[in-house]
Amino acid sequence: MRGKSLMIQGTGSSVGKSVLCAAILRMMKQDGLSVAPFKAQNMALNSFVTSEGLEMGRAQVTQAQAAGIEPSVRMNPVLLKPTSDRRSQVVVNGKAIGNMTAMEYHQYKPKLRQMIKNTYNDLEATVDLVVIEGAGSPAEINLREGDIVNMSMAESADAPVILVGDINLGGVFASLLGTVMLLTEEERARVKGVVINKFRGDVKILEPGLRMLEDLIHVPVLGVIPWMDVELEDEDSVTERFHRMAGTGDLDVVVVRLGHISNFTDFQALSLQPNVRVRYAQNASDLQNADIIILPGSKNTIEDLMDLRNRGMDALIVRHARAGGMVIGICGGYQMLGMTLHDPEHVESRIPELTGLGLLDMEVTFLPEKQTTQSSGTVISSEGWLSEIKGITVDGYEIHAGENTFGASVMPWLQIGDHVDGVCNVQGNVLGSYMHGLFDDGQLFAQIVQHVRSTKGLAPETAQALTMDEFREREFDRIADIVRASVDMEQIYRIARGEV
């Protein structure tokens, strides 16, 4: 191909840019091209650790998987992880460089431009084509001067742009027209086509509007993509997943929705288990009738634990555990299960110390240096029901800034190399671990489900779950088929080759 890049921008956040990029990458892979994703700057709490121990946004990880290549931090050189309404941790080239307010980061951004350009050029040299994703909207005219992720990135990569609008939100014609009209003449010249996403209904009814839009913006409509119930991992907390049930069955798994919830992609695999339904709990009443309660990761563990108490959820979680119910904590949720959380250097909060839920005999101290590493763990417990699954291995990654000190009444259940990565109580119904992704291959969670079913007097489950890898591959091919049937792929290739 002569062209080396294609950029997908949107009329706003959550219009479907990430999914469309994944679909295009999968289609191009199917067509024999070597392709890679790129997004200059992500803002998300769902992140991933590469094989080099570097942190990047989850969306580009998913897109790399769609392209059939290993995720690399070159695909997402800047990651912002909100720690509060006004501050974010800034991760550059996979390493956290500190926390900044919005204004501080706005002033810092110009220093990132050359690094981003160099990183992109390095990635571009390794593949036939790079599919670049924008962020939010290119029409935020108050942010144009400091832009590093939308039209500034398109100019840097000399990339043609396809603009995406979400018809499900309403006003898609106005949002597409308004976005194009707010671009400068040079920026407008880069827009080579528009796509309408998330359509429900008969496209024939839409066609007169498509022609009128083309006459107004002088850019062709490349296709109308129907609503797709996409089950790929979400980039951030702007997701419908928190408001609906996933899976069906007689075992109720409830994930507590924290204010600064992070890496909730850990729990997508749970609904792949047969006869398991997964939902998110916002209030204390949502915890009623739960069989398994899961405390997820958090970007601000101390503040989220205080918020749990304010919502009255802490007492119900403790009561569930004291009654023998299964409670699982991952990363920040694991830290909440301890006796006391110490933050003497104010790594996460201005509060130096907070009492934990007291379900695990351990103390947690937050340290400035964040641990980011891929890891492989082994179940080592020789006590209780966990002894039945001793030797099971799980793969995942760690992203945390905490150090645990254990008391006498906890048992190690998960070990990584020469260190303990997870402990449980003596009864074996309260488990915690720092490892993200430990449920992805299905085998560990399947054993947890079997144990809980046994304690409830339910028949054992005999059907086998899909792994997350198998599920993702199926989803990539499915969305690629839908998008290929909905857009003018030949025209998209011409745009990518620079022929339009």
Give CA separation, 200 vs 190, 197, 231, 416, 475, in Å: 29, 9, 18, 48, 20
Angle between helices 468-486 and 58-67 in degrees, nearest 10: 80
HSE on the CB side for 177, CA within 13 Å?
A: 12
The answer to whether 311 and 286 are in contact (CB under 8 A) is: no
CA distances (Å), origin 71, targets 24, 38, 115, 139, 237: 17, 10, 19, 30, 22
Q: Are 324 and 292 in contact (CB under 8 A)?
A: no
| Residues 187, 137 contacting (CB under 8 angstroms) | no
Could you give the dihedral angle defined by the CA atoms of residues 339, 344, 346 and 347, in that order, rounded to the nearest 10 degrees?
-70
331 is catalytic: yes
Question: CA 247, 250, 251, 257: dihedral to nearest 10 degrees?
Answer: 50
Q: Which of 21, 260, 320, 331 is catalytic?
A: 331
For helices 17-30 and 58-67, angle between their N-to-C axes, nearest 10 degrees: 20
- Which candidate in 260, 320, 436, 451 is catalytic? 436
Q: 110, 136 in Cβ contact below 8 A?
A: no
Q: Are 302 and 349 in contact (CB under 8 A)?
A: yes
What is the number of other CB atoms lying within 10 angstroms of the CB of residue 459? 9
Question: Any idea which residues carry the catalytic annotation?
Answer: 331, 436
